[in-house]
Amino acid sequence: MDETEIPEDHPRYASLVTRHRIEAGVEQGITSKQGLIAQGRGEAFDYLLGERTLPSADAAARAAAATLLLAERPVISVNGNVAALAPSETVELAAAVDADLEVNLFNHTDERVRRIADHLRDHGASEVKGLAGDGEIPGLDHARGVVDADGIEAADVVVVPLEDGDRAAALDAMGKTEIVVDLNPGSRSPRTADVPILDNLLRAVPNVTTHARDLAGAPPDELEAIVDAFDADAALDAAEAAIREGSFASPDE
């Protein structure tokens, strides 16, 4: 089925589009089969959170935008799921905050890096990093730790959507300021982040862009105040509380 054939009035339209994009990503060789499993886990948590952006996640998106606007060398890390789900949205965020895009894969192959880089260029990216592979994240085995020396290795702020817990911890140990997008408040990656956005990537990335456009031109002290007021633990707690309260998405609403 083509994405355009999914009926827009279907109560699970967003979920069906998401599944379709991941499936197409696997077929195009940009998403790994492991990525299908990660997607399933994400969907379960989105369901439990009510398939909506919590006010706490919106505050996190604003803090993420302020953090990116204050950064000197921000980099957005792109894996196979991010590329399949939100290529245009990710390219737009990079442009809005003047960040580099770097393909960085848990299951690295040069072929898949090239395909993802091409896919991002097809969606408007001018420069995509990740092919040099001349840098490293210390503390990980080589295949997992390979990055670009002038990309993630040199970055002060990294956006790591849907990142694995070990790699998030290793980036934290390098002293990076980390912005993580992940729906599971119990996952190690958001628990390691300076700014965890507990929201679906498809909603979170455009939301950070909207906040960044709104905050563009704001003086640094205003941006710093937004970053300082953000409480990562409170954001994790709010998502966990929303799950406990069980406001499941209802197709009837």
The helix (run of H) or strand (run of E) holding residue 35 is helix 33-48
Specify the residue, 70 or 103, whose C-beta has the smaller distance to ligand ATP: 103
The yes or no reply on residue 39 touching Mg ion (CB under 5 A) is no
Specify the residue, 38 or 223, whose C-beta has the smaller distance to ligand ATP: 38
> CA torsion sign, 155 to 156 to 162 to 164?
positive
Specify the residue, 21 or 115, whose C-beta has the smaller distance to ligand ATP: 21
Q: Give residues 188-227 in contact with Mg ion (rule: CB under 5 A).
A: 189
Q: Is residue 201 within 8 Å of 85, Cβ to Cβ?
A: yes
C-beta neighbour count of 18 within 10 angstroms: 22
The least CB distance from residue 222 to ligand ATP, in Å, is 29
* Complete DSSP assignment for 163-205: --HHHHHHHHHTT-EEEEE-S-TTSHHHHH-SEEE-S-HHHHH
Q: Confirm whether residue 182 is marked as ligand binding.
A: yes
C-beta neighbour count of 114 within 10 angstroms: 16
List contacts with ligand ATP (CB under 6 A): 38-39, 41-42, 45, 85, 162, 164-165, 181-184, 187-189, 200-201
Q: Confirm whether residue 167 is marked as ligand binding.
A: no
Q: Confirm whether residue 214 is marked as ligand binding.
A: no
Q: Confirm whether residue 81 is marked as ligand binding.
A: no
The least CB distance from residue 74 to Mg ion, in Å, is 21
Specify the residue, 124 or 186, whose C-beta has the smaller distance to ligand ATP: 186
Among 31, 77, 187, 207, binds Mg ion (CB under 5 A): 187
Q: Confirm whether residue 36 is marked as ligand binding.
A: no
Q: Is residue 178 within 8 Å of 195, Cβ to Cβ?
A: yes
Residue 135's binding partner among Mg ion, ligand ATP, none (Cβ under 5 to 8 angstroms by kind) is none
Q: Confirm whether residue 201 is marked as ligand binding.
A: yes
The least CB distance from residue 88 to ligand ATP, in Å, is 15
In angstroms, the Cα distances linking 127 to 75, 98, 107, 118, 122 are 12, 12, 22, 10, 11
SS3 of 33, please? helix
Specify the residue, 120 or 181, whose C-beta has the smaller distance to ligand ATP: 181
Q: Is residue 67 within 8 Å of 195, Cβ to Cβ?
A: yes
Quote the CA–CA distance of 163 and 180 in Å, as a whole number.
7
Provide the pairing of β-strand 135-136 with 146-147.
antiparallel
Q: Confirm whether residue 188 is marked as ligand binding.
A: yes
Specify the residue, 135 or 165, whose C-beta has the smaller distance to ligand ATP: 165
Which residues make up each annotated binding site for ATP? Answer: 19, 41, 182-184, 188-189, 200-201
Which residues make up each annotated binding site? Answer: 19, 41, 182-184, 188-189, 200-201
* Residues of this chain that bind Mg ion (CB under 5 A): 165, 187, 189
